[in-house]
Structure 1
Amino acid sequence: MTACVPAAEAPTSPPPAEVVQPVRTAPAARPSPSRSAVFTFDGELEQGGWMRGTVPPGTVEARLGEERLAFDDEGRFFAAFDRDSPGTMTLAARLADGRTIESPLAIAPRGWDIEHVDVARSPGGASEAFMRRRQPELDAIWTARLKETGSEGWKQDFAWPVKGRISGRFGSQRVYRGEPGSYHSGLDIAPGNGAPYVAPADGVVVLVADDFSLEGKLLIIDHGQGLNSAFLHSSRLYVREGERVRQGQHIGDVGASGRATGPHLHWSLKWRNARLDPLLFTGPMR
């Protein structure tokens, strides 16, 4: 006797992704329960910029490029674009019914302040003695930025932490005989030594450092969804690690601690590994 063996079924390919343009909405708009299967967003779609939006209904997983997105019970998410972001990126959502939605984004390029210097960079790099002190500081900063506190400050319109002369702009860079140096990763504000500064949005304090080699008195606040603020060179700090702070709360005083040529507040913003321009969060200083 011979057994009857059914023919093997040919493997089925997943359905192709649906390419759907995202829809820009008013910043204060709330997601509608009956919204259609599209991404909605508002924000600044340019290098160093950001977006807040909602995923399509039924989304079980969403990404911006290769970066997986977190979203809340209403489907709201935050994402951002590095200083050197490519000109095109894609939002993608995998839905519970098996469909995939892809939404292309055009990321506007920026004209950075680039200074070409006809001198060579100093050879050798950091000394071993310096790195013995520096590496634990870098590890503490890295660990602090990975903390997830559940803060919802990312949903707010950011305020200026302090107002004064802008003495250094995000993204500026020197090129030494064709070799690029590190670009300026934040915004420098010089209101005068000892001027109080405040939290630009709600958050949780994830690092308070009293005497880091470069940053001096350093404060990092998590705003949730991978977005965090760092404040460098303070003369005094008024909060502790684990403390929840509110937008507008006095958190520190401007100073010149660490490696600083004069008193100023260096404010930097990061989303995951992307460095962002604080000026695109606040708008012009008034």
Structure 2
Amino acid sequence: MTHAAAANAPVVPRGNGFSRDAFAGRNEEHRGFRRSRTMMASATRAAVLLAAAVLAHVAGAAPFPDQVSQGALVRATVNPHAKVRVAGHVLRVGPRGGIVFGVGRDEQGPVTIEVTERDGQRERIAIPVTPRDWPIERIEGVPPKTVEPPPEIAARIQREQARVVAARRRDDAREDYAQAFTWPVEGRISGRFGNQRVYVVDGKDVPKSPHSGMDIAVPQGTPVKAPAAGVVTFADPDLYLTGGTVLIDHGHGVSSNFLHLSRIDVKVGQRIAQGDVIGAAGMTGRATGPHVHWGMNWFDVRVDPLLLLEPHEP
């Protein structure tokens, strides 16, 4: 039997600079951009190796990729009758053998993959993880109560986050994740996945979680399109931190989330096609300017949408 592994290589859109501030409306570029671009190029080479890797018969040599980058979404094909585990997680295997899993931002590796054939033959592979550069972003201009919320607001945030987490833990058999993803809007990247965030409140630095997705700066009201087909699993116009929020499930635990929307045009349970308008860009919730935040998950593992895209001119 032959197993073919595939993943999308990280690419940086031509002509785009990553700003120091992860939100839209900021034009100052990172002083470390050139260093970050070099690290992204290394991650690109690593993911290309993954895309080109082909698994031999389980009983023989297994030319898995030499390495994979942090934040990657790995899509592969195995024997449809095989059982696959990644880091102890049992993967859903599609009728044609499709599988997918994510590599987290802080994953140090190696990622362990175990493939068991129907006849009991088993192969275990350990893939090293290539680290990426995560610059620190200092963000000013957001309301202090969104950074250090009072107890009643903190309780609301916890309730809202629990609803979002539940929506992205689905494991549907659909394989919409397997198609080529497209840009939800055309614009300048104003914040990138994984950067460490520090909010400045009354002159004090308040470290927060790393950026969970990619920000694209566009005017208020710009239509936001689905990057791939799927089913809407969450739609709420007024979450405290993320404002207008939509989640799209792409199957096998893969989902996209769109935050800070000024308008929502879809409903929970709605089946959508790639390119359908799901809402409009805005700056609702904790934001400093109009933009689209696009995040992606494999269950609870956050991955980098940029690694799934072809380059484009803003």
Q: TM-score range by the shorter chain?
A: 0.7 to 0.9
* Alignment deviations for residues 161-214 of structure 1 (CA, whole Å, 9 cap, x no partner): 001111111111146999963111110111111111100001000000011101
1:203 aligns with 2:224: no
Task: Give the corresponding residue for 1:167.
Answer: 190
1:90 aligns with 2:117: no
Asked if the contact 1:24/1:40 (under 8 Å) is kept, the reply is no
What is the SS of the residue equivalent to 2:112?
strand
Task: Give the corresponding residue for 1:112.
Answer: 134
Task: Give the corresponding residue for 1:54.
Answer: 77
* Alignment deviations for residues 220-250 of structure 1 (CA, whole Å, 9 cap, x no partner): 0000010000000111111110001101111
Asked if the contact 1:208/1:241 (under 8 Å) is kept, the reply is yes
What is the SS of the residue equivalent to 1:90?
strand
Task: Give the corresponding residue for 1:139.
Answer: 162
The verdict on how the C-alpha distance between 1:175 and 1:189 changes in structure 2, with shifts beyond 3 A counting, is: closer
Task: Give the corresponding residue for 2:85.
Answer: 63
Match of 2:57 among 36, 61, 83: 36
Identity of aligned residues (%): 40
235-244 vs 180-189, greater mean Cα deviation = 180-189
Residue 26 of structure 1: how far off its partner (Å) = 9.3
The verdict on how the C-alpha distance between 1:22 and 1:167 changes in structure 2, with shifts beyond 3 A counting, is: same
* Letter aligned with residue 251 of structure 1: I
Task: Give the corresponding residue for 1:188.
Answer: 215
- Cα distance in 2 for residues equivalent to 1:115 and 1:242: 36
* Number of equivalent positions: 254
Residue 116 of structure 1: how far off its partner (Å) = 8.3
Residue 142 of structure 1: how far off its partner (Å) = 1.2
- Cα distance in 2 for residues equivalent to 1:64 and 1:52: 12
TM-score by length of 1: 0.79
**Alignment RMSD (CA, Å):** 3.1
If you compute each CA radius of gyration, which structure gives the higher value, 1 or 2?
A: 1
Structure 1 runs not aligned, ≥5 long: 1-20, 30-34
TM-score by length of 2: 0.72
The verdict on how the C-alpha distance between 1:40 and 1:247 changes in structure 2, with shifts beyond 3 A counting, is: farther
- Cα distance in 2 for residues equivalent to 1:152 and 1:252: 23
Residue 39 of structure 1: how far off its partner (Å) = 7.4
Greater per-residue helix proportion? 2
The verdict on how the C-alpha distance between 1:77 and 1:259 changes in structure 2, with shifts beyond 3 A counting, is: same
What is the SS of the residue equivalent to 1:159?
coil
What is the SS of the residue equivalent to 1:93?
strand
* Alignment deviations for residues 31-61 of structure 1 (CA, whole Å, 9 cap, x no partner): xxxx83387989x9210012111224641x2
The verdict on how the C-alpha distance between 1:178 and 1:195 changes in structure 2, with shifts beyond 3 A counting, is: closer
The verdict on how the C-alpha distance between 1:95 and 1:47 changes in structure 2, with shifts beyond 3 A counting, is: same
Which aligned runs of 4 or more in structure 1 are off by greater than 6 angstroms? 38-42, 175-179
Residue 149 of structure 1: how far off its partner (Å) = 3.8
* Relative contact order, higher structure (CA 8 A, sep 6+): 2
Task: Give the corresponding residue for 1:261.
Answer: 288
Structure 2 runs not aligned, ≥5 long: 9-50
Asked if the contact 2:7/2:76 (under 8 Å) is kept, the reply is no
Task: Give the corresponding residue for 2:46.
Answer: none
What is the SS of the residue equivalent to 2:168?
helix
Asked if the contact 1:151/1:204 (under 8 Å) is kept, the reply is no
Residue 97 of structure 1: how far off its partner (Å) = 2.0
